[in-house]
């Protein structure tokens, strides 16, 4: 699930990325990887919540589209089931999730 809260000046948007427990398949660690962090596998870890979901919030520049995916335990990729849209990845074997802010 994605939630968005725009700054009063509409130049930035706080985006909360949340992946439900059924999508994480029992993962012990989840990271958010995307073009906003140069696809760094370790830079943006999500925090486990009591309900089994994982969550992180980022402040992103408004007026853009950002491609991203979740990385489970450093090995399995998962898309956001509620992304704004999906686009083919440059690798051709999967799609990337997209958030539009």
Cα–Cα–Cα angle for 15, 62, 24, rounded to 5 degrees: 25
Query: d(Cα 43, Cα 83) in Å, to the nearest integer?
Result: 21
The tens digit of pLDDT for each residue in 56-100 reads: 999 999 999 999 999 999 999 999 989 999 998 877 677 889 998
The tens digit of pLDDT for each residue in 4-29 reads: 999 999 999 999 999 999 999 899 99
The tens digit of pLDDT for each residue in 35-62 reads: 999 999 999 999 999 999 999 999 999 9
| Residue 1 clears pLDDT 90, i.e. is over it | no
Q: Which of 85, 87, 88, 82 has the alpha carbon at shortest distance from 16?
A: 82
Return the CATH architecture of domain 2-100: Sandwich (2.60)
Output the CA torsion 82→101→40→80 (10° steps).
0
Query: d(Cα 70, Cα 63) in Å, to the nearest integer?
Result: 22
The tens digit of pLDDT for each residue in 86-95 reads: 998 877 677 8
């Amino acid at each position: 699930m994605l939630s968005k809260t725009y700054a009063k000046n509409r130049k930035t948007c706080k985006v909360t990325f949340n992946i439900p427990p059924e999508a994480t398949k029992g993962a012990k660690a989840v990271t958010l990887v995307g073009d906003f962090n140069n696809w760094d596998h370790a830079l943006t870890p999500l925090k486990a919540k009591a309900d089994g979901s994982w969550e992180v919030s980022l402040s992103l520049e408004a007026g853009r589209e950002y491609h991203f995916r979740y990385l489970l335990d450093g090995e399995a990729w998962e898309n956001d089931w509620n992304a704004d849209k999906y686009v083919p990845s440059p690798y051709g074997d999967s799609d990337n999730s997209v958030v539009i802010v």
